[in-house]
Amino acid sequence: MPDGTPAADHARIEDAVRSVLGSLAGDLTATEAALLAELEGLGRTIASAKQEIARLRVDDITERHIPSATDELDAIVEHTAGATNEILDCCEVIEGVSARLQGADAEALQGVVTRIYEACSFQDITGQRIGKVVAALKAIEGRVASVTGRFQQAPPDAPAEAGAPAPTEGQRLAEGPQLPGAGVSQADIDRMLAEF
């Protein structure tokens, strides 16, 4: 019974191709030999690609990286909407003040407020564009899962690639804005400062 390793699969394919080509007319012609060499090279390329795909750690991509990216993008949309609403609330206050003014000052304030309202339209456009990126990431995730589903996982004798080393506490603290519930708490910050 075949052992199912990539090398055994490659050997079976090569034997089958040689058998078919050999049965055509005995000895191989130059054209048939060139065809055989091309087929063997193609077989090696396919086997190598299968091994590379198996080592990609697709589960990390589909279970961690893409969901994390979409969560970050959703947070961007949420924070942008919050900031825009705050800006618009401030514009209403400025409009109230400008209504009590007269002349050039009132006109200047009203002109500035109008420009701010116009500039805040970026939030809607940004949200739409980020929505397209999220949809694209989800489509990529689906395709990656589909492609990798066609290939078997890494054979047991394939060495597992070492993951990235765990970040130090300083690196973790310097990662910038975090999703709600994922960031560093004030207690962590106080504890770290107390250590100095």
Mean pLDDT of 170-195: 64
Mean pLDDT of 124-131: 87
Higher pLDDT pick, 167 / 137: 137
Spatial separation of the C-alpha atoms in residues 123 and 147, rounded to whole Å? 36
Q: What's the pTM?
A: 0.48
Please state, rounded to an integer, the average pLDDT across all residues of the chain.
76
Lowest mean pLDDT among 55-59, 60-64, 157-161: 157-161
Spatial separation of the C-alpha atoms in residues 135 and 131, rounded to whole Å? 6
* Half-sphere exposure in the Cβ direction for 55 (13 Å, CA): 12
Mean pLDDT of 21-35: 68
State pLDDT tens for residues 129-147. Answer: 888 988 888 888 888 777 7
